[in-house]
Structure 1
Amino acid sequence: MKWLSSALHVSRLYPILFFSWFAALGEHLFAMGSFSMFGIRLGRQKNCYIRNIARFGVASVAGKLYVIGGGSDRVDPLTGDHDTIFASNEVWSYDPLHRLWAQRAPMLVARAMFACYALDGKIIVAGGFTNCRKSISEAEIYDPEADTWKSLPDLRQAHPSACSGLVFKDKMHVLHKGISTVQILEDGGNYWAVEDYSWLQGPMAMVGGELYVLSNSCIRKQHGENFPDKMVPCASGFQSRIGFGMIGLGDSICLFGGVIGPGPRNQCIKPLSDVDILNVASERPTWRQGSPMTRCRGSIAGCALLKI
């Protein structure tokens, strides 16, 4: 296996996955709203429509991108009614080499706004909400080779808030918005431990096995229990920027897109195509601008890093 994005350059951005939404793969940047693939060096873009989806999970294993669960964000243009599908169990994979979408085995439980992450060649999902908007504690694991889902032990705690997942120190961690405790999958997936790390709330990215959080316009390195945070340079320009994607690539943290919300001097919402890069491995980390996205701009619904 080789990471397709080993270094970040202004003229050559690694692949990443977001949904407008995006994702980065090799020399290609993927964006989903309508799903598009942009050849960063080649300067051309191709589209393949799937459907309007939101609140989904995204992960990549074995050189493929997986879009999991979630529901439709379609609004009837005549009545203004929202689609009734809030959560589903559908799973789709995208093969970037053959440019093909394929429907995979559905999850055991339909869910939206849940924790989703790849670990050891498999995909783990946990928590979230049902189609009736009820919080759930069920967890399951997907084997892409067998195309099968198996149940995992339920989370110890379910909360009425969206949750997210990440792999920290080779273990799946589940975080709920507004909750200081973290649930960790231990003993090879046999049980969930609950720890109060009091991690900061905000967009997160993993770089070199370290966890970084963007909070109050500052990047902070987060540790486990009883360790102080380490601050990385602040960026006041991010204070009014919301809905962006954030991911770790090589030694850097990358921020993509987002919008500038309305404020005292600005009554409009401005969608952004900006790409900002911070090399956290340097002695004096400083933010720099990367090449902006071309047709993709605005809010990012998810990010994943593909390796092939």
Structure 2
Amino acid sequence: MSVLIEALPDAVAIRCLARVPFYLFPKLEVICKSWRDAVRSTELYKAREEVNSSENLLCVSAFDPENVWQLYDPNRDIWITLPILPSKVRNLAHFGVVSTAGKLFVLGGGSDAVDPLTGDQDGRFATNEVWAYDPIIRRWASRTGMIVPRAMFACCVVNGKILVAGGFTTCRKSISKAEIYDPEKDVWAPIPDLHHSHNSACSALIIGGEVHVVHKGLTNVQVLTKDGWRVYEHSWVQGPMTVVNGSLYVMSHGVIYKQDRDSRKLVISASEFKKRIGFAMIGFQDDIYVIGGVIGPEGWNWDIKRMSDVDVLTLGNERPVWQKAALMTKCRGTILGCAQLRI
């Protein structure tokens, strides 16, 4: 690498470049080869941590367009489009998505493209494929596949490793198998099976440092302990769930609740979302983001409206308030995946 900035040691120059916002990195790359090499180096991202300039971005994928992901920069209220996920599966859906080790991981899932004659999901209901997006070089790469193909499963990060559990291998076969992935070694290993499977999709939440697996429609929750999975009965309301600063929030019947183990507190009305389906609700930094979705036909109007809207519930105020963020510039409609990425 040649001198980055004249009259400055490269170690100092790297720390200067580390303060540049991520969305400007493509412009830095065209200045000269040494700057391009610096922007695509791990040293720059280590320096971003050291000078406290790392950014938290929101990653979103929707039904339309196919296999496209976008990043949201909350500091500048802008969207960045990533290269197309190079999966051979059309309209990849029902996958797991998390971020760890500075990368975005998309795991498993199958096709959401239905054959109009047979009703089959393009012959690929569940896969074991794993893709990692590296923001340093801005490319997707294939990683070692999961031991068991699965879709509609629980997925989360525990101590830097990716845990997956449950889900379906076909549209009729649910599983209780669980496994864990080490992104540094690119290796999967089995862990104890869930206590039980269920004929519905499941999701994972980290509450109090513990993995909670929740099946849609069930009131019991499976929690991972050092002795395996334990089942707890909770009186949680049903609906989209997310965790913000260790607290669980649930949207149910047009209201958002803060849910404790055996009680709940009304936070704010969310009546405008009662007509919207297929949206994502995710805790991002200190707020709750409600993203995308569709509004179905009403009366004689058979048009389905695919939405790019982003609504933000600011929880830090004494009275939480709704605000609008910038519309997604590419993605719209049913949200297939959502995660937070630290760069």
Aligned with residue 248 of structure 1, among 270, 275, 283? 283
1:34 and 2:34 matched? no
TM-score (norm. length: structure 2): 0.77
Q: Deviations over 1:214-250 (max 9, x none)?
A: 11111111112x3x20111102211101111111122
Is the CA contact (8 Å cut-off) linking 1:244 and 1:256 kept in structure 2?
A: yes
Distance in 2, matches of 1:99 and 1:303, equals: 18
Residue of structure 1 in register with 2:131 after alignment: 92
1:55 and 2:91 matched? no
Q: Which amino acid in the other structure matches residue 291 of structure 1? A: A
**Helix, strand or coil: the match of 1:66?**
strand
Q: Report 1 or 2 for greater relative contact order, CA contacts < 8 Å, sequence distance ≥ 6.
A: 1
Q: Offset at 1:261?
A: 1.4
Aligned with residue 151 of structure 2, among 101, 109, 112? 112
Residue of structure 1 in register with 2:253 after alignment: 216
Q: Size of the alignment, in residue pairs?
A: 286
**Against the structure 1 CA distance between its residues 295 and 218, is the aligned structure 2 distance closer, same or farther, given a 3 Å change threshold?**
same
**Against the structure 1 CA distance between its residues 86 and 234, is the aligned structure 2 distance closer, same or farther, given a 3 Å change threshold?**
same
Residue of structure 2 in register with 1:17 after alignment: 59
**Against the structure 1 CA distance between its residues 102 and 32, is the aligned structure 2 distance closer, same or farther, given a 3 Å change threshold?**
farther
Instruction: Provide structure 1 residue ranges, at least 5 long, that are not aligned to the other structure.
Output: 6-14, 22-30
Distance in 2, matches of 1:213 and 1:158, equals: 23
1:276 and 2:311 matched? yes
Is the CA contact (8 Å cut-off) linking 1:34 and 1:47 kept in structure 2?
A: no
Q: Which has the higher helix share?
A: 2
Is the CA contact (8 Å cut-off) linking 1:278 and 1:286 kept in structure 2?
A: yes
Residue of structure 2 in register with 1:171 after alignment: 210
Distance in 2, matches of 1:262 and 1:132, equals: 27
**Helix, strand or coil: the match of 1:48?**
coil
Distance in 2, matches of 1:133 and 1:65, equals: 29
**Against the structure 1 CA distance between its residues 145 and 58, is the aligned structure 2 distance closer, same or farther, given a 3 Å change threshold?**
same
TM-score (norm. length: structure 1): 0.86
Q: Which amino acid in the other structure matches residue 100 of structure 1? A: R
Distance in 1, matches of 2:281 and 2:99, equals: 16
Instruction: Provide structure 2 residue ranges, at least 5 long, that are not aligned to the other structure.
Output: 1-48
Distance in 1, matches of 2:60 and 2:85, equals: 15
Q: What does 1:147-186 align with in structure 2 at a 5 Å threshold?
A: 147-186=186-225
Q: Deviations over 1:87-109 (max 9, x none)?
A: 11111111122111111111111
* Identical-residue share of aligned pairs (%): 51
Is the CA contact (8 Å cut-off) linking 1:165 and 1:173 kept in structure 2?
A: yes
**Against the structure 1 CA distance between its residues 286 and 268, is the aligned structure 2 distance closer, same or farther, given a 3 Å change threshold?**
same
Distance in 1, matches of 2:110 and 2:271, equals: 35
Distance in 1, matches of 2:325 and 2:216, equals: 30
Distance in 2, matches of 1:34 and 1:101, equals: 12
Q: Deviations over 1:129-152 (max 9, x none)?
A: 113631111111111111111111
Distance in 2, matches of 1:221 and 1:103, equals: 38
Q: Which amino acid in the other structure matches residue 17 of structure 1? A: C
Residue of structure 2 in register with 1:203 after alignment: 240
**Helix, strand or coil: the match of 1:294?**
coil
Q: Offset at 1:196?
A: 0.7
**Against the structure 1 CA distance between its residues 73 and 143, is the aligned structure 2 distance closer, same or farther, given a 3 Å change threshold?**
same
Distance in 2, matches of 1:304 and 1:117, equals: 10
What do you get for the CA RMSD once the two structures are aligned? 2.3
Q: What does 1:66-105 align with in structure 2 at a 5 Å threshold?
A: 66-75=105-114, 82-105=121-144
**Against the structure 1 CA distance between its residues 183 and 38, is the aligned structure 2 distance closer, same or farther, given a 3 Å change threshold?**
closer
Q: Deviations over 1:2-51 (max 9, x none)?
A: 7623xxxxxxxxx2122216xxxxxxxxx973324457557764542524
**Against the structure 1 CA distance between its residues 146 and 216, is the aligned structure 2 distance closer, same or farther, given a 3 Å change threshold?**
same
